[in-house]
Amino acid sequence: MTEKVSITIDGKTTELPVLKASEGRSVVDVRGLIAEGIFTFDPGFLSTASCDSKVTYIDGDAGILLYRGYPIEQLANQSNHLEVCYLLLNDELPSQSQYDSFESSIKSQQTVDPNFQNIFNGFTQGAHPMSMVSAAVAGLASLFHEETDITNADDRMQTAHRLIAKIPTLAAMAYKHGRGEAFVEPNDDLTYAENFLNMCFGTAGEDPNVSPTIAKAMDRIFLLHADHEQNASTSTVRMAGSTDCNPYAAISAGICALWGPAHGGANEAVLLMLNEIGDESRVEEYVNKAKDKNDSFKLMGFGHRVYKNFDPRATVMQESCHAVLVEQGVEDDALLKVAQRLEKIAREDDYFIERKLYPNIDFYSGITLKAVGIPTELFTVIFTLGRMPGWITHWNEMLSAPYKIARPRQLYLGESSRDYVSISDR
Ligand code: CMC
């Protein structure tokens, strides 16, 4: 029998069904309230499930993250990013032949139209790469608009392959443009992560020379960021996609949402903060600033909307981070020492313990990327590459079943109707 809850407003009682989850919390189905003329109020969607989904499960209290049921720790240690892309898109892990054919589909679509260089040329050299990447991804709509039928499952999967294949190329073009350097063409002989690194840090016309340690760390960063259920950028992709807009436009909207320092921009913000602190001796001063109610400063890379125990991605990333620091021989780097001191103080301080503010994945990915010499402005772009399969999987999931245009309501607190007064009488 379906469990129900009743609510009584103005003496009228309405029964609402409770929908059972396969894992985690059940939700109260409030859809029937509109017929009663009632809306719910939930700014920031803290209590609202905006959709049903089979892609990713998070238990924030227990620190669990599953992609299609597989624990993130197992995937990080035994899989690779492309296999995880396949898993997210197709629901199941691939057989060897399915993996090979997926990989060759991705590799065969890595190049972009040569005219695309002009998109980047329109930006000043100092432009942030996230601005260029969001524009370039929206620009893909111009190339593939006619041939993308969003009601056709094969077209949607084709779009997914195309975006996963082309995002590293567009990201590297943005980076090279910012540096005033010649673009390095994609190389099919390299892995997904190696190819991205070569396009960014290689030299046009020269043989690739990518460090296996850095490529491994990069692949792990992509994989750990691949999906995170209905976060701000994924919800943005779903919301934009619910208007039936071109998928490249919906993904571009998600990239813009990711850019903010409260979301994907946090890894870059971590490094900017470490630079600002500058020295171990100033860590306590900044911890105090973060605790001060009259100061808007927050410790970047700490806290999470969902994880209130620990972020399982941060645990995996912390291992990689420490391994990379040792391998690169940079444990004595001044900024990394600031990071380690910050981590220690925050983990022991009551303010952070009481509020369950732990270092999140961006804290460790920011430090790892810094340790392997990745320029700070590329950090959020790297998150973008990682999150691409998640965004496109959620978009595809939404379009594969009946859906409605996303159109939240509001609690209006403004003026009641009043008459216009001409400017001379005000
Ligand atoms: N430093 C200091 N205090 C903090 C921090 C922080 N990083 N994060 C939260 N708090 C305090 C906050 O001021 C509040 O204090 P009080 O209860 O006294 O008012 C309390 O902790 C609860 O915070 P909240 O704002 O209700 O938490 P939230 O769930 O709305 O926000 C967050 C989560 C991630 C936006 C926030 O913790 C934050 O801004 N962190 C820093 C930015 C960051 O690292 N973001 C990356 C998140 S992981 C990547 C991703 O998945 O996108």
DSSP 183: P
The residues near 142 (Cβ < 8 Å, ≥ 6 apart) are: none
Burial letters 391-407, b for 16+ CB under 10 A, else e: bbbbbbbbbeeeeeebe
The response to whether residue 359 sits with its C-beta less than 6 Å from ligand 1 reads no
Atom of ligand 1 nearest to the CA of 304: 34
Helices (H), 202-330: 212-224, 232-241, 247-258, 266-277, 283-291, 312-328
The one catalytic residue among 177, 263, 311, 394: 263
| Residue-averaged pLDDT of the chain | 93
> What does the pLDDT read at residue 213?
83
Atom of ligand 1 nearest to the CA of 232: 52
Cα 73 to ligand 1 centre (Å): 24
The one catalytic residue among 304, 322, 332, 333: 304
Is 362 a known active-site residue? Answer: yes
Cβ neighbours, 10 Å, residue 101: 13
Query: Along the 426 residues of the chain, how does pLDDT read in single tens digits?
Result: 789 999 998 888 999 999 999 999 999 999 999 988 899 999 999 999 999 999 999 999 899 999 999 999 999 999 999 999 999 999 999 999 999 999 999 999 999 998 889 999 999 988 999 999 999 999 999 888 777 899 999 999 999 999 999 999 999 999 999 999 999 999 999 999 999 999 999 999 999 999 888 899 899 999 999 999 999 999 999 999 999 999 999 999 999 999 999 999 888 889 999 999 999 999 999 999 999 999 999 999 999 988 887 889 998 988 888 888 887 887 777 888 898 899 898 889 999 999 989 889 989 888 888 888 888 889 999 999 999 999 999 999 999 999 999 999 999 999 999 999 999 999
Residue among 264, 266, 224, 233 nearest 251 (CA): 233
Closest-CA residue, ligand 1 atom 30, reads 305
Cα 159 to ligand 1 centre (Å): 35
User: Could you tell me the two tokens for 318?
Assistant: 């912390």
- Angle subtended at Cα 134 by Cα 132 and Cα 135, rounded to the nearest 5 degrees: 65
Q: Report CA 43 to chain centroid distance, whole Å.
A: 21
Pocket test for ligand 1, best of 274, 298, 362 (most atoms within 8 A of CB): 298
Cβ neighbours, 10 Å, residue 57: 18
Instruction: Answer yes or no: are the C-beta atoms of 28 and 40 closer than 8 Å.
Output: no
> What does the pLDDT read at residue 90?
98
Cα 238 to ligand 1 centre (Å): 24
> What does the pLDDT read at residue 421?
97
The response to whether residue 290 sits with its C-beta less than 6 Å from ligand 1 reads yes
Distance CA(319)–CA(321), nearest Å, equals: 5
Give the sheet arrangement for strand 70-71, strand by strand: 56-59, 64-67, 70-71
DSSP 8: E
Q: Counting every residue, how long is the chain?
A: 426
Pocket test for ligand 1, best of 286, 289, 355, 387 (most atoms within 8 A of CB): 355
The response to whether residue 316 sits with its C-beta less than 6 Å from ligand 1 reads no
Farthest CA pair distance, the chain: 77
Angle, helices 212-224/81-90, rounded to nearest 10 degrees: 20
Cβ neighbours, 10 Å, residue 96: 7
Closest-CA residue, ligand 1 atom 8, reads 303
Residue 170 burial class via C-beta count within 10 angstroms: exposed 0-12, middle 13-18, buried 19 and up: buried
Instruction: Answer yes or no: are the C-beta atoms of 214 and 72 closer than 8 Å.
Output: no
Pocket test for ligand 1, best of 360, 364, 387 (most atoms within 8 A of CB): 360
User: Could you tell me the two tokens for 293?
Assistant: 């109610």
Is 177 a known active-site residue? Answer: no
Q: Helix-strand-coil percent breakdown of the chain, rounded to 5?
A: 55, 5, 40
The response to whether residue 362 sits with its C-beta less than 6 Å from ligand 1 reads yes
* pTM summary value: 0.91
